[in-house]
Structure 1
Amino acid sequence: MSPLRILTWQTPDSYLYYLSQLPHQFHVITDAAQLRGQRSRRLNGDNVHPLSAEQARHEQFDCILFQQPCQYLEEQYLYLNAAQRQLPRIYLEHSSPGEHPTDMRHPVDDPSVLLVHVTAFNELMWDNGRQATRVIEYGAMPAPDVQYSGERPCGLVLGHPREQQGRRLGGDIYRRLGNSVPLEWTGTMTEVPSGDGESIRHQLPVLAAQCRFLFHSDRYNSLNLAVIEAMMIGMPIIGLATGEMASVIQNGVSGYVDTNLQRLETHMQELLDDPHYAYALGRGAQRRARERFGMHRFLADWCAVLKLVTGKAA
């Protein structure tokens, strides 16, 4: 069967990279600045095609994949014609509810749209209303030719300075533990900006792999894909036992999760003092990531969902 023509949007880049491993053609609404550079380096893959918003209504697609509220609530009416808006549609929800942890209604209110959550925690916390839902957990691949060394006695914290100021993402925790434990913040595991604003995939893991452990400081965020990418290269994880993290990290096997910051600080110091122990936990994290978040399962789940909504076997 011919590959499906799927219209989606550019965000988030890491997820799109893994999604594009499917045997389908992805047409990605892309802003003008990136179109001027023709094929953005973020949209790597011969089956990923940047598309201007003005072009979208003149193309033919088999499925529409929304990933943000503005795309579903506004942009489909601005950029798509009436026939396209009747195509099989999926809304991919990446985040936990932001306004209220348990009582926030999901913006999609249309039984003809399939709501796909990236974690079971997200599906649990959202008020999904009358929507049919599915959970497709993350899939990831280890960065090529990158292995954890942990040679630097410090912890890596994902995020950016502005993000680290908020309590939801644990800015206060980062500052508090940073007074006694060497912690460094950075961007995502697979993308780092270059001088021209583009994103260079797989450069950051080389630097990240040198840190002793990764610290997931988010109080209320289901699961960061970058945590899985770190596990894939054999990096031990320390984090709060909140969201989906509690089901991903097994204490003493792949890292440590807890809600007691004093205990987390103790575990951090253990890894800083004993690089061999950190390496052993990293191997456990790698095994866990490959078993649960391998690409074979991820792609099979997506093929099943696409077959469900379009009636076409991949």
Structure 2
Amino acid sequence: MRVLLWHVHGSWTTAFVQGQHEYLVPVVPGRGPEGRGRAQTWDWPASVRELSPTEVRAALDDGAVDVVLLQRPDDVRLLQEWTGRRPGRDVPAVYVEHNAPTGHAARSRHPLADLDTVADGTVPVVHVTAFNRLMWDCGDARTLVVDHGIPDPGHRWTGERPHVAAAVNEPVRRWRVAGTDVLLRVAQDVPLEVYGMGTDLLAPHLESGSPVAAASAARLHDLPQHELHDALAGARAYLHPYRWTSLGLSLLEAMAIGLPVLALPVTEAPVAVPPEAGVLSADPEVLVAAARRWVDEPEEAAAHGKAAREHALTHYPLGRFLDRWTALLTELVDDAPAGRPSSRH
């Protein structure tokens, strides 16, 4: 099949495009949010092809797109503005919801819940975790869960650095949601290294803390994806401080590398991180105590990391993820009204 999708979430898309299909990714000048094109820091296969907005329309006119994968309300708008097509009416479509609700946890109405093609089930809403499906109000939409799948990075953990690593984008702007205050509490007693966009803004917050925290201000990094796994592998453990998020792929990747986990017991984390893989607690002092113990006892950290890797690969295998997506996309294309142009033979 030929699948049209926007490049929204790099790690998720990296897994998705490992499948057997052709992937058409819009690109606009400057590679802004309306069309980022191919990833610049992930390794994507040759089956991912960039199309300009004009080429997107031509591809749909020629029947060279079988199904559209939407991930933002803006994708619906762009599809209609660029091509005149309505998802679910003029072209088979599916909407992937990557995030937990950003408003009231139990009363957030999904932005697509009232779109007619969603409400009648023509465009299903696919959640990446069961927790997200539970919390979003999707009205009468057909909803499914397709759990994440991750390419196996290999067991890379060495743990030679007695530090705890965290991967958090924009930790200052996203303060409480990202659990930045929890991260800073851990940093008071345990050497920390933080990876992600905007981590440099953490420096003054660390420098004003304890001597341990101040020293961590020199370990703030924004690395390309292909360097991140090796960097994480040298840390003793992984801290996932988020209060409210979907299931971050950085967490699953860290587990697959072999890092033991420290996290808050919220959203999907209790499913993703079993007791043998790490420590979950709503009390930051418990996380600090576990981190200090692992810094002093690398053998215990290694054992938890081994269990974390086994759990991640068993519960989030790439093959199962790709098979489930192929089955769903095939169903949507096969159920499309007869007579619609298609590239399938």
TM over 0.5, shorter chain? yes
| 1:109-158 Cα distance to aligned partner (Å, 9 max, x none) | 323111100111110110011110110111002225x6101111111111
| SS across alignment from 2:181 | helix
Q: Do structure 1's residue 224 and structure 2's residue 248 form an aligned pair?
A: yes
Aligned length, in residue pairs: 299
Q: Deviations over 1:58-91 (max 9, x none)?
A: 113100101112212x212211223776211110
Equivalent in 16, 20, 24 of residue 19 of structure 1: 16
Name structure 2 gaps, 5 residues minimum: 198-222, 336-343
Within a 5 Å distance, the mapping from 1:201-280 to structure 2 comes to 201-251=225-275, 253-280=276-303
Query: What is the Cα deviation at residue 290 of structure 1?
Result: 1.0
Could you say which structure has the higher helix fraction? Answer: 2
- Is 1:116 the counterpart of 2:113 in the alignment? no
* 2:83 match: 80
- The equivalences for 1:142-181 within 5 A come to 142-143=152-153, 147-163=156-172, 165-181=174-190
Counterpart code for 1:158: A
Amino-acid identity (%) = 30
Residue pair 2:281, 2:287 contacting (<8 A) in 1 also = yes
Question: How big is the alpha-carbon RMSD for the aligned residues of Structure 1 and Structure 2?
Answer: 2.5
- How much does 1:201 deviate? 3.8
Paired residue for 1:67?
A: 71
Supply the distance in 1 between the matched residues of 2:326 and 2:37 (Cα, whole angstroms). Answer: 29
Question: 1:289 and 1:40 mapped to 2: Cα distance?
Answer: 24
**1:34 Cα offset (Å):** 4.6
Give the counterpart letter for 1:104 in structure 2.
Answer: S
Q: Which residue of 2 aligns with 1:133?
A: 143
Q: TM-score, normalised by structure 2?
A: 0.81
Look up the match of 1:58: 58
In structure 2, what residue type is equivalent to 1:7?
L
Is the partner of 2:226 in helix, strand or coil? Answer: coil
1:53 CA displacement: 2.0
Which structure 1 segments of 5+ residues have no match?
189-198
Superposed CA deviations along residues 216-258 of structure 1, whole A, max 9, x for unmatched, are 100011210111111111111110000100111122x111111
2:184 is paired with a residue whose SS is helix
Question: What is residue 340 of structure 2 aligned with on the other side?
Answer: none
Confirm or deny: 8 A CA contact 2:26 2:37 kept in the other structure.
no
Conserved? CA contact 1:43–1:49, under 8 Å:
no
TM norm structure 1: 0.88
The higher radius of gyration belongs to 2
- Structure 2 CA distance for partners of 1:156 and 1:284, relative to 1, 3 Å: same
- Select which of 192, 206, 209 maps to 1:183: 192
Give 2:310's match in structure 1, choosing from 270, 279, 287.
Answer: 287
